[in-house]
Structure 1
Amino acid sequence: MNDLKGKVIMITGASSGIGESLAYEAAKNGATLILSARRENKLKEVKEQCNKISASEVYVYPLDMSDPDAIEETMVKIENSIGKIDVLINNAGFGRTEEFMTYDLNKAENMFRVNVLGVMYLSQLAAIQMADSRSGHIINVGSIAGKIATPKSAVYSASKFAVIGFSNALRLELKPLNIKVTTINPGPVDTAFFDEFDPSGSYLERIGRFVLTSDEVAEKTIKIIGTNKREVNLPFSLSVAAKLYSLFPALGDYLILNQFDKK
């Protein structure tokens, strides 16, 4: 699948941020695109830009990832009008930094519906399609927060731990069907995501040296399509930190609390 021309790629959360950059990067490589998010007007703007980049088809399907019925209806429409999806990139998600003691658990439930259950519903339906042709690739956008949890991100970290765990098991289940599963685990990315995650706007300033651009994440993600890459952790410094944290968790906890807790 190194040549994406003629391949159908579905991207969720494609109206802004990483998802928008993924759309442009995939368009550069000639893929047929299915763009999904809640904001149809923004999706149409992204589609227009993709059309300027590539002559390949771009389809827009507004979708609320917290609604399983909507996910199923959308997948039926896509299969009937376009056909099988070759690559699914589960990018939609959101987070919020807040102490757990005061966290509104109704918001936590909604976060899990989008970040975790939505990923599961959509992945299951895509995998059923892919199984018929015994080919395909599911890419789930997790987070370094799913490998290194920090204070004030308990709910978000839990949702991304779930995405990573789900992806690891799914990879083993789908391997006999020649369906690949990869997780992309970026650290902080300078996008509108942080409008919700950190309303104060100060977090990104304090961790500047670790901050990625959405274009960097998109480029790395599109490059691994069709490969057997298990996971991609970004940036390199946080990838190393995640490995060290798994080897020395007590030391990791100490450093997070005393050196790296910037929220």
Structure 2
Amino acid sequence: MLKNQVIVITGASSGIGAETARLLSEQGAKVILAARSLDKLEAVGRTLKGPYEIIELDVGSDASVGHAFEQIWASNPRIDCLLNNAGYGRFERFVDTTVSEFEDMMNVNYLGIVRCTRAVLPRMLEQGGGQIVNVASMAGKLATAKSTAYSATKHAVLGFTNALRQEVRGTGIVISAVNPGPIDTPFFTLADPGGDYVKNVGWMMMKPQRVSKAIVKVIERRKAEVDLPWIAGFGTRLYQLVPRLADKLTYKFINKK
């Protein structure tokens, strides 16, 4: 099903971006690896079984996104799927987080998705189909202490995703969200440099292969959304039903940062 499809992956230099690229390549897709580090992208590319391109891309820059997608469109007549995966987090108390840190995180995690989506959606509308997959987070549904900036960006991503899905209904374009819990990737090198959070949630931390397999299924089946792991998905549903009661009952369990 994915053979010969052209799939762009942002944040493809490590973690679930790199792992998803490998899985998609095994299924015959042409993968376009995009991130800031060309050296890391080249290393990922050498592990792929099928055709690929590497593109230098900083999702936080209008100019970089514009230039990168000009290159992509110049060498590819169509893009079948855009996987918006680039992002980062930093877990700290609100009173210790500067306004500039809020701005930077929102610029990358949310506006980065907006920029890349604007770069592909008009062409997808012209070609009559395609898919945009946004990697959000369970933090976009269930916010926790010390993640005010990060959770806000992921709430924004989910709001954007859900609204855009309604806008393009009937066009042949699928808008998807993948909402993972904690993943064992380099993400936590910056987000949790002390390692306390990783230690506290180690029992439920997922391997990147598990998340990448879920992303590939979303692309294969053109699903609208997936939450993982299941226990986290259950928790968000409970929270949506009785948010204040859930706050009281789950505070100690979920606030592990």
1:109 CA drift (Å): 0.8
Partner residue of 1:7?
A: 5
Partner residue of 1:42?
A: 40
Report 1:130-141 matches (<5 A).
130-141=124-135
Tell me if structure 2 keeps the 8 A contact 1:137–1:226: no
Residue 175 (structure 1) aligned with residue 181 (structure 2):
no
Tell me if structure 1 keeps the 8 A contact 2:2–2:220: no
Following the alignment from structure 1 to structure 2, what is the Cα–Cα distance between the partners of residues 73 and 260? 41
**Equivalent in 215, 239, 254 of residue 245 of structure 1:** 239
**Equivalent in 156, 167, 178 of residue 162 of structure 1:** 156
SS at match of 1:89: strand
Following the alignment from structure 1 to structure 2, what is the Cα–Cα distance between the partners of residues 224 and 99? 34
Partner residue of 2:118?
A: 124
Question: Counterpart amino acid of 2:2?
Answer: L
**Equivalent in 134, 143, 146 of residue 152 of structure 1:** 146
Following the alignment from structure 2 to structure 1, what is the Cα–Cα distance between the partners of residues 77 and 53? 12
CA-atom RMSD in angstroms: 1.0
Partner residue of 1:28?
A: 26
SS at match of 1:183: strand
Partner residue of 1:262?
A: 256
1:19 CA drift (Å): 0.5
Following the alignment from structure 1 to structure 2, what is the Cα–Cα distance between the partners of residues 255 and 219? 32
1:226 CA drift (Å): 4.6
SS at match of 2:13: coil
1:82 CA drift (Å): 1.9
SS at match of 1:76: helix
Partner residue of 1:66?
A: 60
Q: Which runs of 5+ in 1 are unaligned?
A: none
| Higher mean C-alpha deviation, range 249-258 or range 191-200 | 249-258
Following the alignment from structure 2 to structure 1, what is the Cα–Cα distance between the partners of residues 246 and 137? 17
Residue 230 (structure 1) aligned with residue 224 (structure 2):
yes
From the superposition, tell whether residues 175 and 226 of structure 1 become closer, same or farther in structure 2 (CA, over 3 Å). farther
Following the alignment from structure 2 to structure 1, what is the Cα–Cα distance between the partners of residues 99 and 221? 38
SS at match of 2:178: strand
Following the alignment from structure 2 to structure 1, what is the Cα–Cα distance between the partners of residues 253 and 233? 18
Alignment size in residue pairs:
257
TM-score (norm 2): 0.97
SS at match of 2:221: coil
SS at match of 1:125: helix
**Equivalent in 48, 58, 72 of residue 78 of structure 1:** 72
Q: Any runs of at least 4 consecutive aligned residues in structure 1 with deviations exceeding 2 A, and if so which?
A: 255-260
Percent of paired sites with the same residue: 39
TM-score (norm 1): 0.95
